Amino acid sequence: MLVSWLMGTSTTLERDVRAFLATALESTNLQNLGSRYVGKVRDVYSQGERSILVATDRQSAFDISWCSVPLKGQVLNQVSAWWFKQVAEIMPSHVIDVPDENATVVRRLDMLKVEIVVRAYLAGSTSTSAWVNYSQGVRSFCGNTLPEGLAKNQRLPSGPILTPTTKGEHDELIAPSEIVARGFATQAQWDEISEKALALFGHGQEIAAARGLILVDTKYEMGFDKAGTLTLADEVHTPDSSRYWIASSYEQRLALGLEPESLDKEFFRLWLREQGFEYGGPKPQITDEVRVMLAMKYIDLHERMTGERFVVPKDPDISARLQRNLREYQVS
pLDDT at res. 281:
76
pLDDT digits (tens, 9 = 90+) for 75-87: 999 999 999 999 9
pLDDT at res. 169:
65
Mean pLDDT confidence for 272-284: 83
Asked if the structure places residue 269 within a domain, the reply is yes
pLDDT digits (tens, 9 = 90+) for 141-156: 999 999 999 999 999 9
Asked if the structure places residue 2 within a domain, the reply is no
Q: What percent of the chain has pLDDT over 90?
A: 83
Asked if the structure places residue 109 within a domain, the reply is yes
Starting at the edge strand found earlier in the chain, the sheet holding 95-100 runs 35-38, 42-46, 50-55, 103-107, 95-100
Mean pLDDT across the chain? 93
Q: Can you tell me whether residue 208 is helix, strand or coil? A: helix
Q: Which amino acid is at 158?
A: S
Asked if the structure places residue 174 within a domain, the reply is yes
Res 10 pLDDT > 70? no
Vertex 300 angle, CA 297 and 301, to 5°: 90
Res 286 pLDDT > 70? yes
Query: What is the number of domains present in the chain?
Result: 1
How many CA within 13 A on the CB side of residue 155? 11
Res 1 pLDDT > 70? no
Q: For the domain that residue 97 is a member of, what is the CATH number?
A: 3.30.470.20
Q: Which amino acid is at 308?
A: E
Asked if the structure places residue 188 within a domain, the reply is yes
Asked if the structure places residue 114 within a domain, the reply is yes
Asked if the structure places residue 249 within a domain, the reply is yes
Judge whether 27 and 37 are in contact, CB under 8 Å.
Answer: no
pTM of the model: 0.92
Confidence of residue 4 (pLDDT cuts 50, 70, 90): very low
**Rounded distance, CA 311 to CA 324, Å?**
19
**Which conformational region is residue 202 in: left (phi greater than 0), alpha (psi within -120 to 50 degrees), or beta?**
alpha
pLDDT digits (tens, 9 = 90+) for 149-207: 999 999 999 999 999 999 876 789 999 999 999 999 999 999 999 999 999 999 999 99
pLDDT digits (tens, 9 = 90+) for 234-272: 999 999 999 999 999 999 999 999 999 998 888 888 888
Domain range for 121: 7-329
Helix (H) or strand (E) holding 162: strand 161-162
pLDDT digits (tens, 9 = 90+) for 111-165: 999 999 999 999 998 889 999 999 999 999 999 999 999 999 999 999 999 999 9
pLDDT at res. 8:
38
Of 208, 165, 197, which Cα lies nearest the Cα of 79? Answer: 208
Asked if the structure places residue 216 within a domain, the reply is yes
